[in-house]
Amino acid sequence: METIIISLGGSLIIPDEIDINFLKDFKKLILSQIEKPARNADGIASAGGGKKFVIITGGGKLCRRYNKAAEEISKSSNDDLDWLGIFSTRFNAEFVKILFGDLAEDKIILDPTLSIKLNKSVIIGGGWKPGNSTDFCAVLMAKNVGAKKIINLSNTDYVYDSDPKVNSNAKKIEKISWPEYRTIIPKEWNPGLNSPFDPVASEMAEKEGIEVIIMNGKPIDNLANYLNGEKFQGTVIK
């Protein structure tokens, strides 16, 4: 069975309020992929051949709101702010785990370096330790289970050559190499960094030969197209 790694951005789970409609659509799609039989080169279906999913949740605005409040009230170290972010990702992870019920492993993954048994169809994980985002956890999980692709879902359609919120002439990038990608993102991690894929995770993904697909999780059909091997909108980094 193919194992799919998804880094699910907190911006999709809780942009301002919990996005119930997106989460319903996301769950429905994942369930359909779990139940979908795998097919060989001749198109012959095999029983029990559906996909398995490892979903790592981000913190999104929940993380940034806590960080901003902490900085306004007290002097906080980067580790302090990272831990706030980590626990916000874990809260989101517990929430998403509940949505999948018995299909999900009973406990969320807190340390992506430990040996993991893929007994159930869905495994949910959150943040691990200071110094990176959950993108890094997704890379470690991919390495752990032998996956070579990660789908990074956020509210961004593509990687751009500059920030499209600042530069209206920013150009979308559909394919880019890791060395090229790493020249257009910050060199170092800092708490609350807003980057398509964080610099620490990017360095390891390049080292491990892992391909990352950056795409907008909405509309959900875009993710469905990718999972079904059809044309999709997004950026492929490899």
Dist CA 139 CA 142 (whole Å): 5
Contacts 24+ apart (CB under 8 A), 145-149: 145/3, 145/5, 145/54, 145/116, 145/118, 146/3, 147/3, 147/4, 147/5, 147/54, 147/210, 148/209, 148/210, 148/211, 149/4, 149/5, 149/210, 149/211, 149/212, 149/213
Q: Does domain 3-34+48-237 have CATH number 3.40.1160.10?
A: yes
Confidence (pLDDT) at 42: 54
- For residue 7, pLDDT over 90 is answered with yes
Q: Are 178 and 237 in contact (CB under 8 A)?
A: yes
Residues 161-172, mean pLDDT to the nearest whole number: 88
- Full-prediction pTM beyond 0.85? yes
How much of the chain exceeds pLDDT 90, in percent?
73
b/e 109-148 (16+ beta carbons within 10 angstroms → b): beebeeebeeeebbbbbbbbebebbbbbbbbbbbbbbebe
Q: Is 154 helix (H, G, I), strand (E, B) or coil?
A: strand
Give the H/E segment covering residue 126: none
Residues 129-158, mean pLDDT to the nearest whole number: 93
Q: Which residues contact 61 (CB under 8 A, 6 or more apart)?
A: 10, 11, 14, 15, 16
Q: For the chain, what is the mean pLDDT?
A: 91
- For residue 190, pLDDT over 90 is answered with no
Cα dihedral 83/15/212/145 (nearest 10) = 60
Strands (E), 126-190: 149-154, 159-160, 172-173, 175-176
- For residue 193, pLDDT over 80 is answered with no
Confidence (pLDDT) at 27: 97
